[in-house]
Amino acid sequence: MKKIFTLLTVLVIGLQLQAKEGMWLPHLIAQLNYSDMQRMGLQISAEEIYAVNKSSLKDAVVHFNGGCTGELISSQGLLLTNHHCGYSQIQSHSTKENNYLEDGFWAASRSEELPNSGLYAAIIREIKDVSNEILEGSTPEMSEEERDSIIKVNAQNLLGEAQAKNPGLEFELKDFFFGNQFLLISKVKYTDVRLVGAPPSSIGKYGKDTDNWVWPRHTGDFSMFRVYANADNQPAEYSETNVPYKPAQHLKINIAGVKEGDFTMVYGFPGSTNQYLPASEVANTVNEYNPFRIRIRDQIINILDAKMRVDEDARLQYASKFARSSNSWKRWKGEILGIKRTNALEVLRQEEKLFKQMCEAIPELKDDKDLVAKMDALYAKRIPLTKERFAYIEVGYFGIEAFRHVLNYSNLIKHAEAEDEEALKTEADRLAKRMEGFLKDYDYDLDKQVAINILPIYLETIKTNPGEEVRELQEEGSDNWPEEIAEMYEDAPFFKEDFAEELKKNPAKMAKKIAESDLYELSLEMYSHYFEVINAGLKPINLEIDALQARYVKALQRAFPKKSFYPDANSTLRVAYGQVKSYEARDAVKYEAQTYLKGVMEKYVPGDYEFDLPQKLIDLYEAKDYGPYGENGKMPVCFVATNHTTGGNSGSPVLNARGELIGLNFDRAWDGVMSDMYFDPSICRNVMVDLRYVLFIIDKLGGASYLVEEMDLVRHHPDETVTKKVESEEKSSVKTKAADKTKAEPVMEVQYREN
């Protein structure tokens, strides 16, 4: 008994230190987090954050095109998100004459706002626990396959019913904690979303890849859109008659500034995390998978970089591809460092030991005591096949551009083989057009060189039932590969001058040529191998792993009932909360929490590809012309806080204790990017643009003060409101929560929730 007590004490103390970790489900905040949030300074109610039958902050948060977050900041549907989230829309409206990417863009009136086909903004209506309905009919004794198919049927029925009852909404069923919990999420999807403004890239992307994942940061990573609706305020496809959407709630913007220790929360759509991995799989990630993927991307990035430095066309064609490729590459490197520096593996192993001891001490958990060992074994078993999987993803799918592109030709070949003239012609025309688009941003020599350098890594890695083409190459030996690969490119029909013309004129003949080309054959074989061998081979192991992970999370919850658990990110709406906080990254390196325009100027390199600046910004700096947005003669730019965020949180609103907008999330700081697997509050920081910098750029640099006029600005720091409130309350001697907060309060126990 004493043993359990000591273990619990250790754990509870540990948990208090870690209190800020987590991406929480908004509908459970009242139950799980509210007292903790209050203790940290939150001044609004849980219902103001999330409610279903009345408006709440959630109505101002949008899923921006499925991959980013955005927020509504005026009663007229004005939407704020990151520059890197709106990048492709800004790019698509840019021409040489009107280069919005380079010069920025500000719609001077509603009629100048630019429509974007395919872009949407979704607002969550309701999050509902449907675990019982989904799991109905399944039993713990069932095989994973059986359980899976029951869940599928239940899910289909439930989604069908919900959809039939609410034709105006979209429904999504998501599983949490590896299938322990299921939530039905309804949303309204607005499809007329127009570009309103963007700063020049020299501000919105300032520091580019050099500064990416880096603190101190000086990027004004924002862009603005407007959501439009029909006359009934309902979603509608683009139409001139559409009107600005009137949100149920929009965010107020607080320009009083932030200080160390201030409460912050991030409301958004984090994409995916792996918080419940055993130490062994975290070790596999940083020792095996990350280095392997980094090795492949090293090649790609070096080749791209060398060419982009000397070739202006390549620089334009590959800017966005380079950024995409280097973004994860850099993060993987950071993860390796972060896991090492925080001694994460040792900490996790200790926690696993503790878990095992708890299982041994608690009778109902005695069968779970070897769960971690079982997971370790399975994760170890799948290493070789998982490496093959990454080899395909990195080389065949994302690395070699031609390989992925030629996969589009499989239907053409099918139609040719079926001698379906009409379908063949239509498909040939479509592909000819598509090829034009592809070639616009394609550099043949560069891609060939990438292939020569990374295909060998694939060929060396694939051991499980390689197809004929791969086997032949493997047998020939690596000395021949450079020449073979070069020949494969030279012989391929796709890159010949008259390819598109020929394809349209002679689709049957071209289909045959394509089908017989080594490049197409190899790419297709690798693609099929990925599904039929690699994924098929991984499926049974992964099913077993998932089942164990599900059991593990459930057992953890029983073993540590005082701790509240949050599910891994899965692109659903979440709230993370923390504090504005400086940090000590490593020995003798301490970072402040806020950056200023002075720092932007310090990094300035005239004419540089990454660190150039618009003259107007320099002028404003020199004149210290910051309008109402400056602070003691300085212009704040970015700040960091301890919120737990990940990819997908970009563009998320960062709110203060009163739920007012103070920052726009866009990144994490280098030393803590391992937070997807292991969050350490001492060094994990999310990076956001200070809203004052956003407004300064719109108003002073962009001259678009009419946009600021649309917004609701608040000029008091939340602490001031508390002090004022407390003063007036003292007079009337009425006690409120805010006044209570100033007293030392015992740590509230968070409820244990059973799934």
We find the least distance from the C-beta atom of residue 716 to ligand ASP, in angstroms, to be 30
**Residue among 582, 594, 521, 628 at smallest CA distance from 218:** 594
Is 200 one of the binding residues for ligand ARG (CB under 6 A)?
no
Contact 580, 264 (CB under 8 A): yes
Nearer to ligand ARG, 36 or 209 (CB): 209
* Residue 388 interface partner, choices ligand ASP, ligand ARG, none, CB cut-off 5-8 Å depending on type: none
Q: What secondary structure does DSSP assign to 394-407, as a single string?
A: IIIITT-HHHHHHG
We find the least distance from the C-beta atom of residue 663 to ligand ASP, in angstroms, to be 13
Give the range of 205-213, 233-241, 454-462, 541-549 binding ligand ARG by CB under 6 A: 205-213
Give the range of 98-106, 434-442, 663-671, 744-752 binding ligand ASP by CB under 6 A: 663-671
The residues that are catalytic are 84, 221, 650
Is 666 one of the binding residues for ligand ASP (CB under 6 A)?
yes
Is 398 one of the binding residues for ligand ARG (CB under 6 A)?
no
- How far is residue 420's CA from residue 415's CA, in Å, rounded to a whole number? 5
Is 650 one of the binding residues for ligand ASP (CB under 6 A)?
yes
Nearer to ligand ARG, 74 or 82 (CB): 82
- How far is residue 729's CA from residue 739's CA, in Å, rounded to a whole number? 8
Helices (H), 187-311: 201-204, 208-211, 279-284, 290-310
Tokens 């200080």 identify what position? 259
Nearer to ligand ASP, 87 or 390 (CB): 87
* Residue 663 interface partner, choices ligand ASP, ligand ARG, none, CB cut-off 5-8 Å depending on type: none
Q: Which residues of 510-533 are buried (b: 16+ CB within 10 A; e: fewer)?
A: bbebbbebbbbbbbbbbbebbeeb
CA 365 to chain centre: 36
Give the range of 120-128, 223-231, 368-376, 641-649 binding ligand ASP by CB under 6 A: 641-649
Give the range of 284-292, 615-623, 643-651, 693-701 binding ligand ASP by CB under 6 A: 643-651
Give the range of 14-22, 103-111, 621-629, 639-647 binding ligand ASP by CB under 6 A: 639-647
Q: Roughly what angle, to the nearest 10 degrees, separates helices 444-461 and 468-476?
A: 90
Q: Which of 202, 557, 649, 656 binds ligand ASP (CB under 6 A)?
A: 649
Is 646 one of the binding residues for ligand ASP (CB under 6 A)?
yes
CA 177 to chain centre: 19
Cβ atoms within 10 Å, residue 140: 6
Helices (H), 410-535: 410-417, 421-440, 444-461, 468-476, 481-491, 499-505, 507-516, 518-529
Nearer to ligand ASP, 323 or 407 (CB): 323
* Residue 213 interface partner, choices ligand ARG, ligand ASP, none, CB cut-off 5-8 Å depending on type: ligand ARG
Q: Which of 537, 648, 659, 718 binds ligand ASP (CB under 6 A)?
A: 648
Distances (CA, A) of 591 to 114, 217, 263, 343, 582: 40, 11, 19, 21, 6
Beta strands 253-254 and 713-714 are parallel
Amino acid identity, position 391: A
We find the least distance from the C-beta atom of residue 392 to ligand ARG, in angstroms, to be 23
Nearer to ligand ASP, 105 or 215 (CB): 215
Q: Would you state the structure tokens that stand for residue 711, as one six-digit string?
A: 């917004």
Looking at residue 145, what DSSP letter applies? H
Q: Which of 216, 647, 672, 702 binds ligand ASP (CB under 6 A)?
A: 647
Contact 563, 259 (CB under 8 A): no
We find the least distance from the C-beta atom of residue 327 to ligand ARG, in angstroms, to be 4
Is 323 one of the binding residues for ligand ARG (CB under 6 A)?
yes
Is 222 one of the binding residues for ligand ASP (CB under 6 A)?
no
Q: Which of 21, 36, 192, 209 binds ligand ARG (CB under 6 A)?
A: 209
In the region spanning residues 16 to 45, those forming contacts with ligand ARG, defined by CB under 6 A, are none
Is 208 one of the binding residues for ligand ARG (CB under 6 A)?
yes
* Residue 208 interface partner, choices ligand ARG, ligand ASP, none, CB cut-off 5-8 Å depending on type: ligand ARG
What region, left, alpha or beta, does residue 22 occupy, with left being phi > 0 and alpha being psi -120 to 50 degrees? left
- β-bridge partners, 586: 589
Please report, as ranges, the residues that interact with ligand ASP according to CB under 6 A: 645-650, 666-668
Please report, as ranges, the residues that interact with ligand ARG according to CB under 6 A: 84, 208-209, 212-213, 323, 327, 647, 650, 667
